[in-house]
Structure 1
């Protein structure tokens, strides 16, 4: 196929795949559109078999990790970790909406960093909803905190987000070096989000709540907590030996799965559902469609827009471009497009792109799959999210959070080094 027809076919198919992810026709998986689209770009010659195989090899460990960590999060929920978090937040908040917001920020930031943003969206958001109802406070500010932190608090570790795993592989950094460079931007992003959301929802947070009925203290699920800590340590150790983090996630999930199956707390069917295999297949297919778009012109076009170096202005321009692209085509395709262009230059450029694709999606519903999933979770609890309110909050928070986080990254690169 000639270059122009291949480019047109690839772009149209990418738009169809993204539309399928947003609207999920007939309530089916995102893979329903993505897999045939990937097959089409290969069949018509828009993507060579060699490039398709290379993309599958690149994304295979990433999607494997995603499936394993989703199972791990599901098993932690079965062990009562999220219920314990809800009880702790309710007890500590003592009826204060402002105090609850701070506790939600602490909890969501840690869960996003360690168990990935999917755990925050799917498991913590319902817990926060129930906790707000228990205290008789308006849930809105706290639910928005979960949505924003699922994106912006996923900056810290390579395992916090699917985009991080891709950036980690492209950057050439070790696990600990990645975390050291991103620690300051992570803290700055979380702190700025807190100040913005507290200001934006000042009226709702000023309303009083009620102290919870403490009842019987809820025991902390030590087995789940220790397994999570050991799994996190496994990520660090495996990275030091150049191994993929997927194996630590698999072992961690297995440690909780075997006794849970033996005691009847879960089933094989539940574990398979928790692994979200259709979504993992969607990620693989999406990667191939994006690769076809890049191969047929987008990569060259964007290459002319990318700044050189890792000065403050260059980092800001990279992050801004990544944020715009994430809101136009979703953050996962955006990072797949930009990483091959920035990886050869400097790890700092890769991390700037990561700031853009992780913070930028808080501007629109379609900016990240996590935000779309969060909206479905909130709707499932009988609450809708107003588009105007969501957008106004994003217009205030995203430019400020992104700018200050880029500044923090620039400081990290010059103090920690790459």
Structure 2
């Protein structure tokens, strides 16, 4: 579709991937009146490999300055503003947002320097400075934070931030899109194995059951799996993070209810236990893991895989976080563990654009570790690309940009900290947890 062509709401649209961005895109297109949308995914919803299939994610609200600086300031403000609008006013997503507050902190000189420079906590009136163990403990009910918080300092934002029930929001987007007429095909029939090209364009896809699906527009929203379908010219680095759950009693869940998010940018984070399984999730913070292998063509590539276990080194980091904050829980057995994949672009901006050569193909990838918060709004950006009306500043930031990956440093931590302060390799992991899977 050219930028001067009005949208044809009856045109056929294929979306590859029914995760966070695939469901968001399907929902936004259906709300705009598109009537012929098919979403393909290898897994039943919620997919076990979708980053959105999780009990909680951090969300921070934001307002929008009508006259922001050009460039990155506009992009970051617009993203935060529209995501916030969705969490606070869209009936599909509102039930899953918990405005509990947000503590962001660090504990080493370098981490504190990065924290104050990046978050500018000393310049934000809505952040209260925390610099003693007593100050941290006072943010939550007595008996929750009992640790010594060695060297920890940071800011506490009491409102305008919190967490969301991620799986609930993902499934709500799926169900609403389905109610509006979107067709979802999963399993072998939805497992896309290749793009079908004809006359220099993409005309559809082939799935594992041998079915050909043709469409006027194909959208890749396959996250870290996208490089297996299309040469991304080095623009995506599939990168994974690690998480663990511990079981909580009913009494503990009541004590931990409505707690602010606690996030140490060098150590990890936790939110209140989930209401369904009474489990507390803890993530150890680090620059991520890749799974580096040499492909048949001789290229080095990070290949995603699903595993409901984490490296023992990640378990040690999770327990160190607990010892610093909640030592009463630090030896409790894990009830669930998982690696969670995302895909980093070189500049951590999203990649939402038409392919420059395959004009009927749209990319909606590159969540870069902050994609889920935007489930409320990211599908709108994809729809704007489809209709040729994406804001010019967002279009520049989200463009197909292989030039940014020339000579890419695959070990770049991209301003992330924690663990060994380097990107790790699953190929070097010696031992994994042995949690009973469910």
TM-score computed with the length of structure 2 as normaliser: 0.28
- Greater fraction strand: 2
The structure with the greater share of residues assigned to helix is 1
